[in-house]
Structure 1
Amino acid sequence: MSFDAKRLLTDRQVEEAAGMFFALADPQRLRLLILLAGREISVSELATAQGEKLSTLSARLKVLHAARLVGRRREGKSILYHLADDHVLALVSSAVDHACETH
């Protein structure tokens, strides 16, 4: 994976990237992304794992979905969430790895 700093980006692309960092800036939303790494989980399972009310969790997932960091699908009465793609997994992985480094 590489970043081309010379690549020209539109204002919209930069704003969308900034929106992703905004969504990632909340520790509880970041925890959700970590829980979703490599798997799909229902809203009720996420609420149990986080020890939160469904309404609070839904609000967090709404922010992550709006930032295109998570995807969702319905299965019967359940809504299952997953990371949107491998870019999100790499972004979260890099942030966590960097935070775990000793300085």
Structure 2
Amino acid sequence: MTSNDASQSPLYAKLLGETAKIGWSELERFFARGILLHVARDLDLVSVAEAIANDDTTRVAQWLSSGLVVRVQSETAADFAARDPELWAVVVSPWVCVQERS
């Protein structure tokens, strides 16, 4: 699926509408539960969420193996807590996908 196709998907539109700017303090509880996924800046956060929601195991596995999508580790959590960067998040139960924007 190309990004043009994705932008026309009802699921993509729904997830885009649910994507919001959020502070680290609001994400800490998801980190503590081990359900917070960090999405690399060069990926489209909503496309990643859509792939997870659609159970697109091939794409998700590629991102995981290349380190473009990772479960948030304690070092990243400490960095986010110290810097409080601009973060965007979208929920794809049970996961919360988070991405730092510059």
TM-score bracket relative to the smaller structure: under 0.3
Q: Which has the higher contact order (CA 8 A, sep 6+)?
A: 2
Q: TM-score normalised to the size of structure 1?
A: 0.27
Higher helix residue share:
1
Q: TM-score normalised to the size of structure 2?
A: 0.28
